[in-house]
Amino acid sequence: MTKIVETTYRVRREPLRTSFSTSLRSINELSVIEFHIKTDDGIEVFGESVETPAITGDTSAAIQSDFDLRLSKALIGKEFEDAASFYRAHIAQIRTTNSAKAAADFALYELQAVVSGKSLKEVLGCLATQVKSDVTIPLTEISEIPTLLAARTEFSIFKVKLGSEDMKTRVNKVQLIREIAGAEAGIRIDPNQAWSVDESITFSEETERLGLGIEYLEQPIAAMNKKGLAQIRKMSGTKIMADEALYTIADLELLHGLNSVDLINIKTLKSGGITPALEIIARAKELGVAFSIGTMMEGDKGILAAILIAGAHRPDYCHDLDAAWWASNTRLRYAKGMVAI
Ligand SMILES: [Mg+2]
């Protein structure tokens, strides 16, 4: 059996083609933190993470410290059979950032692929050759929207970031996007926790009154206010998605029990890796809660894992997998609103 004998990490910079802004942050480049694993039979693989202090609270310093002090100890000297059982035995319970655990889990799945002589795609059970993705319209001035849409004509579903603009401006932005993108386009709204319950209900009522066809409203209010999502859902005809409110199976159970959500947004960096993300998917399927696979603005490896999970578990849905579209040096390929596998 393969044994892990060494772990190391390093940071590399990945420039973005254009800046990415939401109500929580604005970034122009990524610092991707690689976590490398070496085995006694000479295999070397790595997983990746990024800091998202405004979203998960995980800083680059904390992630690197977790690699250094905790994950190295948890991994070195351990026999490896497969990623999920290794994760459950040695990683799930230790106290680290989820972003660090996720990088270790990516590396373990890569190791499983090498050890078993399969591709990562086969290991994750993905049969799809491409997966549909939306594309983000970042938080912006209304005057910029035509230019942003003109740069995204290959996509047909838009995730629109809104924030602290006044209600009239919010609605006007969506109205303009609907006019330019056409009746068939999908419009998803993500205020990233910037709104109150009342604002969310008003926005929903206004956009419904105008027939603007919002596919879903994602995490409009503070992550901790799970009951608030239920209030919005009850008072509006718009579907509600939880993103920052959904990290774990316990969050899913709570949101479902409160009737707070129509959909959840699953991201490996929130949940702590591929293994826990797959566990959340399994539970969501049992509960009948629809799920979408998303990513942070992160490196290719994490995005590829998300694409493969989406392709394996909900291949016919349009997920939120456009993060690599923003990167200057990505190997992932987008065409006609699909990302190739
Ligand atoms: Mg979101």
In a domain, 85, yes or no: yes
State the average pLDDT over residues 31-59.
97
Q: Tens digits of per-residue pLDDT, 62-76?
A: 999 999 999 999 999
Q: How far is the CA of 135 from the centre of ligand 1 (A)?
A: 12
Q: Of 62, 93, 120, which closes a domain?
A: 120
Q: How far is the CA of 24 from the centre of ligand 1 (A)?
A: 10
In a domain, 289, yes or no: yes
Q: How far is the CA of 136 from the centre of ligand 1 (A)?
A: 10
Q: How far is the CA of 56 from the centre of ligand 1 (A)?
A: 12
Q: Tens digits of per-residue pLDDT, 217-231?
A: 999 999 999 999 999
In a domain, 125, yes or no: no
Domain match, 95 and 161 both: no
CATH number at residue 246: 3.20.20.120
Q: How far is the CA of 159 from the centre of ligand 1 (A)?
A: 9
Q: Tens digits of per-residue pLDDT, 288-311?
A: 999 999 999 999 999 999 999 999
Banded model confidence at residue 45, pLDDT cuts 50, 70, 90: very high
Could you list the beta-strand ranges (E) of the chain: 2-21, 26-39, 44-50, 79-80, 130-132, 135-137, 157-161, 186-190, 214-218, 240-242, 263-266, 290-293, 334-335, 338-340
Q: Of 87, 120, 153, which closes a domain?
A: 120
How many domains is the chain built from?
A: 2
Q: How far is the CA of 146 from the centre of ligand 1 (A)?
A: 22
In a domain, 104, yes or no: yes
Domain match, 187 and 336 both: yes
In a domain, 143, yes or no: yes
Instruction: Say how far apart CA 231 and CA 77 lie, in whole Å.
Output: 50
Q: Tens digits of per-residue pLDDT, 266-283?
A: 999 999 999 999 999 999
Identify which of 140, 154, 146 has the alpha carbon closest to the alpha carbon of residue 185.
Answer: 154
Q: How far is the CA of 296 from the centre of ligand 1 (A)?
A: 9
Instruction: Provide the whole-model pTM.
Output: 0.97
Banded model confidence at residue 17, pLDDT cuts 50, 70, 90: very high
Domain match, 105 and 165 both: no
Q: How far is the CA of 297 from the centre of ligand 1 (A)?
A: 11
Domain match, 141 and 229 both: yes
Average pLDDT, rounded, for the chain: 97
Q: How far is the CA of 83 from the centre of ligand 1 (A)?
A: 28
Q: How far is the CA of 110 from the centre of ligand 1 (A)?
A: 27
Q: Of 85, 120, 155, which closes a domain?
A: 120
For residue 104, the model assigns a pLDDT of: 98
Q: How far is the CA of 188 from the centre of ligand 1 (A)?
A: 10
Percent of the chain whose predicted confidence (pLDDT) is above 70: 100
Domain match, 105 and 154 both: no
Q: How far is the CA of 236 from the centre of ligand 1 (A)?
A: 19
Q: How far is the CA of 243 from the centre of ligand 1 (A)?
A: 5
Q: How far is the CA of 310 from the centre of ligand 1 (A)?
A: 16
Domain match, 246 and 142 both: yes
Neighbours of 116 (CB within 10 A): 11
Domain that holds residue 309: 130-340
Domain match, 285 and 139 both: yes
Domain match, 72 and 178 both: no
Domain match, 111 and 137 both: no
Banded model confidence at residue 178, pLDDT cuts 50, 70, 90: very high
CATH number at residue 13: 3.30.390.10
* Dihedral angle computed from the Cα positions of residues 306, 307, 308 and 314, in that order, rounded to the nearest 10 degrees: 100
Domain match, 286 and 322 both: yes
For residue 140, the model assigns a pLDDT of: 95
- Ion ligand 1 — residues with CB < 5 Å: 190, 243
Domain match, 110 and 45 both: yes
In a domain, 199, yes or no: yes
Domain match, 15 and 141 both: no
